[in-house]
Amino acid sequence: MAMEKIWFGGDYNPDQWDEKTVLEDMRLFKKAHINLVTLPVFSWAKLEPREGEYDFGWLDKLMDLFAQNGLGVNLATPTVAQPAWMSAKYPEVLPVDIAGRRRNHGMRVMFCYNSPVYRERAAAIAGALAKRYAGHPALKLWHVANEYGTYCYCPICRSKFILWLKNRYGTLEKLNERWYTSFWGRTLTDWEEINLPSELNDDYRFNPTIQLDYMRFVTDSTADCFTNEYDAIRRFSDKPIQTNMSGYIKKLDQFVMAARMDVVGWDNYPSPLHDKSLVALKHDIMRGLKGGQSFLLAEQSPNQQNWQPYNRLKRPGEVRMLTYQALAHGADSCLFFQLRQSRAGQEKFHGAVVGVSGREDTRVFKEMTQLGAELEKLSPVLPGMRSKADVGMLFDWNNWWALENSSGPNRDIDYLDCVNQYYRAFYEKNIAVDVLSCKSSFEGYRVIVLPMLYMFRGDLKDRLEAYVKGGGTLIATAMSGLVDENDQLPAQDYPAYLRDVLGLRIEETDALLKDRENAIELDGKEYSCRLVCDVVHTEGAKTLGRFTGEFYAGSPAVTLNEYGRGRAYYVASQPEQALLSHLIDGLGLKPVLDYTGEMEITRRENGERIVFFALNHGKSDAEVRLGGGEFTNLLTGERVRGEATVKPNDVGVFTARKED
Amino acid sequence: MAMEKIWFGGDYNPDQWDEKTVLEDMRLFKKAHINLVTLPVFSWAKLEPREGEYDFGWLDKLMDLFAQNGLGVNLATPTVAQPAWMSAKYPEVLPVDIAGRRRNHGMRVMFCYNSPVYRERAAAIAGALAKRYAGHPALKLWHVANEYGTYCYCPICRSKFILWLKNRYGTLEKLNERWYTSFWGRTLTDWEEINLPSELNDDYRFNPTIQLDYMRFVTDSTADCFTNEYDAIRRFSDKPIQTNMSGYIKKLDQFVMAARMDVVGWDNYPSPLHDKSLVALKHDIMRGLKGGQSFLLAEQSPNQQNWQPYNRLKRPGEVRMLTYQALAHGADSCLFFQLRQSRAGQEKFHGAVVGVSGREDTRVFKEMTQLGAELEKLSPVLPGMRSKADVGMLFDWNNWWALENSSGPNRDIDYLDCVNQYYRAFYEKNIAVDVLSCKSSFEGYRVIVLPMLYMFRGDLKDRLEAYVKGGGTLIATAMSGLVDENDQLPAQDYPAYLRDVLGLRIEETDALLKDRENAIELDGKEYSCRLVCDVVHTEGAKTLGRFTGEFYAGSPAVTLNEYGRGRAYYVASQPEQALLSHLIDGLGLKPVLDYTGEMEITRRENGERIVFFALNHGKSDAEVRLGGGEFTNLLTGERVRGEATVKPNDVGVFTARKED
Amino acid sequence: MAMEKIWFGGDYNPDQWDEKTVLEDMRLFKKAHINLVTLPVFSWAKLEPREGEYDFGWLDKLMDLFAQNGLGVNLATPTVAQPAWMSAKYPEVLPVDIAGRRRNHGMRVMFCYNSPVYRERAAAIAGALAKRYAGHPALKLWHVANEYGTYCYCPICRSKFILWLKNRYGTLEKLNERWYTSFWGRTLTDWEEINLPSELNDDYRFNPTIQLDYMRFVTDSTADCFTNEYDAIRRFSDKPIQTNMSGYIKKLDQFVMAARMDVVGWDNYPSPLHDKSLVALKHDIMRGLKGGQSFLLAEQSPNQQNWQPYNRLKRPGEVRMLTYQALAHGADSCLFFQLRQSRAGQEKFHGAVVGVSGREDTRVFKEMTQLGAELEKLSPVLPGMRSKADVGMLFDWNNWWALENSSGPNRDIDYLDCVNQYYRAFYEKNIAVDVLSCKSSFEGYRVIVLPMLYMFRGDLKDRLEAYVKGGGTLIATAMSGLVDENDQLPAQDYPAYLRDVLGLRIEETDALLKDRENAIELDGKEYSCRLVCDVVHTEGAKTLGRFTGEFYAGSPAVTLNEYGRGRAYYVASQPEQALLSHLIDGLGLKPVLDYTGEMEITRRENGERIVFFALNHGKSDAEVRLGGGEFTNLLTGERVRGEATVKPNDVGVFTARKED
């Protein structure tokens, strides 16, 4: 479901303002080229002040006003925050926390996602909204709830978890076997003996198999909670339906969530301390959730946030560069939290397009206006365009959970950090990467990377072996290929799922103490490494690099196995970035385009056109070689042949018709 | 209510000792010039062993013994620790904590300050004590409970909070508006939907408006709890009534508390790591609570504490210097915790005048004896004397709460730290400062300072503008003048409440990352600054200093606005101490007296006499210029004209009759 | 009860494996010289799948199989983890945690040790196992439960605690006096007013006397819980009965626990960051628990653990050296967790003799095999041998609790750290040390050391004085001899219990701020010291060393008192290691043997033979002088006279017949 244009706008809360201010906003939004508003995210109590009694009058007026002003609406179901009367009348709507405490009303996203009452009332209001506004000219998009992510431990959830387990395992015997309950004497003799893994039993920390299934269950329940509203809306409206996910949070498997949505929405709030590659990776993950489909940047901030510890102002031009980075990696929209600043409440110091002063002569408003004007130039070309990559990188929430729940060998193991390290090695060379799930096809990829893919599920082993046999290149890392979907080690040599394709076995794995390092000698240079070091015995693989320290000095640290027509690399530790950079140089991959300087370059395309993005993150002019044919810089309108120059802190968006 | 003399003595627990020891104490106290004992703070169970049955016999004997030995009594109601039988019989007396857990009996200050049973029993015993001892010759002063500060989350408190809100706001509509419940969908449709802000809803962290009102409510309730006993005592006795407050704790608005007391009492336990200016500031805050009235130093330690992480011994002479500092800043007493060391319990390692050994040849006992003798010399002159200052500094608990509850822009914002920084700039020049509330008159002050006065309540804006127009000088800082009493930003430019008087507006505020700095160039020198930097547009103000770094380099960092006949300075960041010192030099203020060396100098006076305190904190002799007339050094009896020398670690107390 | 041989083997969980694997294990265990398996530690649910219905069939088969394969069994009662059905049926079996929350089923060691239902079911299965297997040829040893250490706060425990107090104190008056309830108004008027010290009253942190008795009560209750099973087993079997204790954990007084066991068992999991002396100390503590009786090393890891933050592999030879260190210090066995690695669960990455791969060509398996072969050579000689020491060091759990519960003077006071520092001073000179309880006889010891023996119980004062009068040497440290068994300071000079023997009094104790130091000048050299510094007045003692800093510079820091025919040293601070080393040099003590290099040397013996252990921890060859007579190196069979050489990372075990 491609968007009809690049949406530019974001969260708007007119119920916090008087009519005069709303009218003034219409003028300001037009001036800033804003074309979409998201609302009414937090207005359930206003829309349904008493159970079953709806008050849509104020929203009708707004919808009409938006339509008159050429504004589209990303219509939100207000279900992220149930009305206080609901919590008072039906306390079972409130979640029980991991400490076993029933919450009382407060915050937001504070409901039990399995509560029948919540589900019923949420479907009712979602349906009522859909029925009322399905045909409204302003309606462009649906937005369900907001940033799901609660974990509930109430009796209803426990009952549903037991049902979910019955459905998954069938018999208690099977459950006992898959949960390996013989360890620590946890054998179950009745389904009713099952408890949720919480602080009341410490299973959330000390029973990785139960915790893993509970996290799957919460994901499935949350997805059902979304679908509950999706279905209610779809009865009346055929517009795309999404929910905005909180970045790539660990709590919910976003592959499962995304499968329920028409289009992926996500909120991008990078820390100023993070490397640009991390933001790029997040975008690529989001693009990967639906197999490369372009996504909705549902929120970013036009300036500082309020909830980070230190809320640095975004620097001049920073929002523009972040926005182009999003578009470059697959976004078809650019929505902001928020259009007008709240005068009070927890987020009153959060950046906004229009501040409490209402001024239009601010740095932020002027930057937004420029950006809005530019996006109008890209809008006819970009939406729905996809990208192609030679490199596929596996990313898996189940693996994330299992790896980090696991006790040992090193508590500083950090899945995202490892994924980002490998990603960054490609990113810094402008070699495009697709993020894949464990079920994705590997066809067409020259290299598949498995950063710490500890858990192997389904037929992944067979498919990876077939991929390499068929000529593909595999890169695997320490802590990969060890356990099955229930976090069980097969009674085999490590790594059971990769031993054949890698041509080696691991006898034991050393954990380096806090902040200690070992080193790897590779092609005549020494690189530091950290976290863990495998003691590897090659069984057919060739040793490329060796550890230089500890009792296993001289043993293999980087290996290469010729397997069928392909090759499989293994990196038996977590090396410094430079080693990965060097390793990748040997793979024969090409950047998206040749270039000079510190550029971030991507390519998007559809059947007819190509678009290249070239973001100059450096401090001096840089050049990009566009190759044959004539390109148009969509931002300037200039025609370009061959090389194009991009200024520092600037971007070039070059398009050409495909030559086929 | 001035004290009849300088009280010297403190907490005494004769119920922990046998009769012989108590008699020995009479001898020791006399030797040390002790003239007041505080008791029976923790004896409720001993005084009322069963509900309604009082046993005053043992106390009668003690009161008589004290009177015979010339000891006054600071008679305490024992209500800080209800008897165990009360908690067992009336569990509702026990508080519910922020985690929602009903406490069981233990600790101290562990009762619900709103409990009707507690209130009734507390008033009963306070009244019984007052009735019995009102006419006793030993009675000098009343001491209610001890260091209030519990927060309770029980159903009774919730009901009372709802009543308090009804009383404050009248209607739910008004409450919804003032709590800005449209944000995050918190609209209330019934008063019974209101919950206390606790861990069960996280409103204590994420709902600044509710939390603010709850803190006000706890203050009012605690003040009522005090008044409950105050009224019971006053029926029978006209002696001054106070309670000792825990330093200047954040939890309770001590302006509200102090309004209920006849005289302010407080406990001074400085950390050895703190600067002397912080202790001086605390004294000045306490003096400011009742508009300059002298206060009771209700507790300090004669030596180390036990409950700090590292309980350093007080150095030789340190207690004496701390005591003179208290007197210099407005104390009329000098009470200690404790006169005789406990042999067991949580505080057995706390310093005491007499240790468990009962010795009188100790360093501590000898220092106390010297101090007691000295205080007798000051006693006829000092009590009730007041001070005068050219500088007023606003200090406000509501502001403290709101500022630090606020999310963003920088979590390291620390109200006290900022107040202390400005205070210290004056302190280091021995320019006297009065601490004022938001309601204090500004008449007679040449300079008013507003360190991070984020919240403006009542008519403060108008009064400040009038003050400057009339010729006053105002100094305001970053994070000031932003919100109203409900933590709401007016729909105006920042800072809404100071924009006019400062002649500027703030477009946005940058938060510096942890431990990062920017710098300000002012009068040819560069000073570091931290925390936040405002991007300021002057609107009439003159730019004195400019930021040197970040994208707003060159923009105003220190400004001066001529407003009416006065001047208003703005400091748009938190600069290093030296900048403030330099800024103050331009204000034309004078020290209390001219002096050399590292001296702390204050002046107290009444209609007839002046007293100068000169504490030498340096390592060599220092001089103070007393000006015309003849002075007497009260400690040595020497007559002094012109300059007087004070030795290191020593103090001079110089008095003269007023010349008018 | 001496073991019949050196047991070599450990935890085995055949219920996690199929029959074929178990048969393969028989072959592997034989190859590795394994002679004992511990089981079925976690199999309660398998042995008693429904209440009262036992299924011993599978265990019968295993027991027979072990017997056929020459394997002894350390037969475990499975009571560390009650079956899920028991928690479901009898929720009172589950403990209430310190936060007041009833746990639900999970983890292990998660039962109330006072639960009547638990006790009844535990005794029943223990008795059933004993009855069934008492005569089985494989049975060698009993193992009750596993690593006790839960603290429970349930109503049953509260009732039992009240009974325990009635029994200890007789009357409430006595209890009020011993708990010093006059402090902070805690007077009790009814036994039912007593609560457990928990987070609900903060007494666990702020009421040291209650907390102390509660910790004693938990120890007694846990010991009773052990005895409950002990008695059930003893009815049928006369084999030794033990439980494995978690190192020297603070929670349980292991002198009390050990008194109930036939032989002490403990689990040794040293951190790679700890000094070797700490491991040696722990062994010596364990040997001291039953007055020098040899103990069972119940668990150590054949390789890395999984539950440490950073699970370093054990280096080649490291397990062997740790094993010889254990034997050198009094172990008669060497058991491992675990023989075969679990395929899943919390500890799947824990080291094992046989990994999931089942390989026998691993480093670990080969090292274990070598060790097993060696131990067979020592086995005829070593079991039951004891050691002799000139130095006795007091170690006391009650003291540990009281010292660290105490508020002040310095929160960094760390009992174990101080004990280890003094121990290490002797250890580094290879001077043997016995760890003694407060009730141990001091006869035969030339030196008695009291590191931070804060609490004096029973007749310790009299016995120590008699010891020194009779010619003994005492070394006492700061923070010693201060309080009685209820943490009460006598109304006397500090340190009440040591003043006479030390010939001094302490006027006050300075706490150094975090990371600050003072120094001591002793015999012309300056040594740093930390934590606390006493201000000492000698009363007969001679001053050996003096503080060099702070206001008490020049006052005594190290003193020596001639007392009767003996001498008593006092060290008034916590000095650097070198000072202690120097001090000890003056005591005229001898190492076990003369030696060169970095050796750890101990001696064990029985009526007939002597064994010397010499472990070379250095990096080059070292020599040990065995003295007269001919010795045999048990590991190599070589005969040695005079000097013997030990290689780096190697050990010599030299034996000779006694010459009497």
Catalytic residue among C48, C92, C229, C299: C299
**Alpha-carbon distances of B462 from A263, A358, B457, B492, B500, rounded to whole Å:** 54, 24, 11, 17, 11
Q: How close is the nearest chain B Cα to the Cα of C168, in Å?
A: 19
CA distance B440 to C452: 56
- Residue B109 has what pLDDT? 74
Nearest residue on chain A to C362, alpha-carbon basis: A507
Summary mean pLDDT of chain C: 97
CA distance B484 to B460: 11
- Residue B1 has what pLDDT? 61
Q: Give the contacts of B18 (CB within 8 A, at least 6 positions apart).
A: none
Q: Tell me: pLDDT of C109 over 80.
A: no
Q: Between C49, C306, C315, which is nearest A189 by CB?
A: C49
* Pairing assessment for the beta strands C518-522 and C525-538 based on DSSP bridges: antiparallel
Residue B211 touches partner C, C-beta closer than 8 Å: no
Residue B649 touches partner C, C-beta closer than 8 Å: no
- Residue A1 has what pLDDT? 61
* Pairing assessment for the beta strands C639-646 and C622-633 based on DSSP bridges: antiparallel
Q: Which residues of B touch C190 (CB under 8 A)?
A: 84-85, 88
Q: Which residues of B touch C203 (CB under 8 A)?
A: 106-107
- DSSP string covering A450-516, please? ETT--B--TTHHHHHHHHHHTT-EEEEETT-S-B-TTS---SSSBSTTTHHHHTEEEEEEEEPPTT-
What is the tens place of the pLDDT at every residue in B418-433? 999 999 999 999 999 9
Q: Give the contacts of B171 (CB within 8 A, at least 6 positions apart).
A: none
Q: How close is the nearest chain B Cα to the Cα of C460, in Å?
A: 20
* Residue A147 is among the residues annotated as catalytic for this protein: yes
CB A390 within 8 Å of CB A432: yes
Nearest residue on chain B to A18, alpha-carbon basis: B491
The reply to whether the predicted model has a pTM over 0.90 is yes
CA distance A498 to A462: 10
Ordered by where they begin, the domains of chain C are 35-255 (3.20.20.80), 264-384 (no CATH), 391-585 (3.40.50.880), 594-657 (2.60.40.1180)
**Alpha-carbon distances of C137 from C60, C68, C72, C229, C239, rounded to whole Å:** 12, 9, 8, 22, 12
What is the tens place of the pLDDT at every residue in C216-239? 999 999 999 999 999 999 999 999
Confidence tier at C660 by pLDDT (50, 70, 90): low
Regions of chain A short of the pLDDT cut 70: 1, 660
- Residue B3 has what pLDDT? 83
Nearest residue on chain B to C489, alpha-carbon basis: B343
- Residue A169, classified by CB atoms within 10 Å of its CB into exposed (0-12), middle (13-18) or buried (19+), is middle
Q: Which residues of A touch B407 (CB under 8 A)?
A: 306-307, 346-347, 349
Element (H, E) at B232: helix B208-234
Radius of gyration of chain C (CA): 26
Q: Between A80, A85, A104, which is nearest B201 by CB?
A: A104
* Pairing assessment for the beta strands A594-595 and B651-657 based on DSSP bridges: unpaired
Other Cβ atoms less than 10 A from the Cβ of B275: the count is: 14
Residue C357 touches partner A, C-beta closer than 8 Å: yes
Catalytic residue among A48, A92, A229, A299: A299
Residue B405 touches partner C, C-beta closer than 8 Å: no
End-to-end CA distance of chain C: 25
CB pairs under 8 A between B and C: 182
Which pair of tokens denotes residue C139? Answer: 């049975």
Confidence tier at C338 by pLDDT (50, 70, 90): very high
Summary mean pLDDT of chain B: 97
What is the tens place of the pLDDT at every residue in A594-607? 999 999 999 999 99
- Residue C173, classified by CB atoms within 10 Å of its CB into exposed (0-12), middle (13-18) or buried (19+), is exposed
Residues paired with residue A623 on neighbouring β-strands, in sequence order: A645
Residue A555: alpha-carbon gap to chain centroid: 37
Q: Which residues of A touch B183 (CB under 8 A)?
A: 13, 16, 42, 342, 344-347
**Alpha-carbon distances of A174 from A169, A183, A488, B252, B464, rounded to whole Å:** 6, 15, 14, 59, 76
Question: Chains contacting B with at least 3 CB pairs below 8 Å?
Answer: A, C
What is the tens place of the pLDDT at every residue in C236-281? 999 999 999 987 789 999 999 999 999 999 999 999 889 999 999 9
Q: Which residues of C touch B84 (CB under 8 A)?
A: 186-190, 193
Q: How close is the nearest chain B Cα to the Cα of C490, in Å?
A: 7
In single-letter form, the type of residue at position C199 comes to E
Question: Chains contacting A with at least 3 CB pairs below 8 Å?
Answer: B, C
Q: How close is the nearest chain A Cα to the Cα of C251, in Å?
A: 20
CA distance C337 to A183: 13
* Better pLDDT: B4 or A54: A54
CA distance C478 to A645: 75
* Pairing assessment for the beta strands B333-336 and B296-299 based on DSSP bridges: unpaired
Confidence tier at B660 by pLDDT (50, 70, 90): low
Q: Give the contacts of B443 (CB within 8 A, at least 6 positions apart).
A: none
Q: Between A187, A201, A510, which is nearest C312 by CB?
A: A510
CB B125 within 8 Å of CB B77: yes
**Alpha-carbon distances of C124 from C117, C121, C139, C227, rounded to whole Å:** 11, 5, 19, 13
CA distance B228 to B230: 6
Q: What is the DSSP letter of B92?
A: G
Half-sphere exposure of A198 (CA within 13 A, CB side): 22
SS3 content of chain C, % helix, strand, coil (to 5): 30, 25, 45
CA distance C483 to C466: 20
CA distance B546 to B558: 7
* Pairing assessment for the beta strands B333-336 and B7-11 based on DSSP bridges: parallel
Determine whether the interchain pair B512/A310 forms a contact, defined as Cβ–Cβ distance below 8 Å: yes
Q: Give the contacts of A373 (CB within 8 A, at least 6 positions apart).
A: A33
Residue C515 touches partner B, C-beta closer than 8 Å: no
- Residue A247 has what pLDDT? 78
Nearest residue on chain C to B317, alpha-carbon basis: C551
Q: What is the dihedral of CA C222, C224, C230, C233, to 10 degrees?
A: -110
Determine whether the interchain pair A203/C46 forms a contact, defined as Cβ–Cβ distance below 8 Å: no
Q: What is the DSSP letter of C16?
A: G
- Residue A135, classified by CB atoms within 10 Å of its CB into exposed (0-12), middle (13-18) or buried (19+), is exposed
CB A529 within 8 Å of CB C388: no
Residue C52, sorted as left (phi over 0), alpha (psi -120 to 50) or beta, turns out to be: left
CB A250 within 8 Å of CB A281: no
Q: Between A50, A307, A357, which is nearest B408 by CB?
A: A307
Residue B106, sorted as left (phi over 0), alpha (psi -120 to 50) or beta, turns out to be: left
Nearest of A62, A75, A85 to residue A131 by alpha carbon: A75
Confidence tier at C304 by pLDDT (50, 70, 90): very high
Nearest of B628, B616, B626 to residue B654 by alpha carbon: B626
Q: Between C107, C304, C311, which is nearest A201 by CB?
A: C107
Catalytic residue among C147, C229, C374, C465: C147
CA distance C267 to C301: 9
Question: Chains contacting C with at least 3 CB pairs below 8 Å?
Answer: A, B
Element (H, E) at C511: strand C504-511
Mutate to test the interface with A, among C12, C89, C346 (most CBs of A within 10 A): C346
CB C310 within 8 Å of CB A511: yes
In C52-71, the residues whose Cβ lies within 8 Å of chain B are none
Q: Which residues of A touch B199 (CB under 8 A)?
A: 101
Dump strand ranges (E) for C184-291: 241-242, 244-245, 265-267
Q: Between A409, A490, A510, which is nearest C306 by CB?
A: A409
Radius of gyration of chain A (CA): 26
Confidence tier at C1 by pLDDT (50, 70, 90): low
CB C335 within 8 Å of CB C297: yes
Nearest of C405, C474, C410, C408 to residue C436 by alpha carbon: C474
Residue B409 touches partner A, C-beta closer than 8 Å: yes
Mutate to test the interface with C, among A193, A506, A536, A574 (most CBs of C within 10 A): A193
Residues paired with residue C641 on neighbouring β-strands, in sequence order: C630
Q: Give the contacts of C581 (CB within 8 A, at least 6 positions apart).
A: C425, C428, C429
Q: Which residues of B touch C158 (CB under 8 A)?
A: none
CA distance A586 to A591: 14
Summary mean pLDDT of chain A: 97
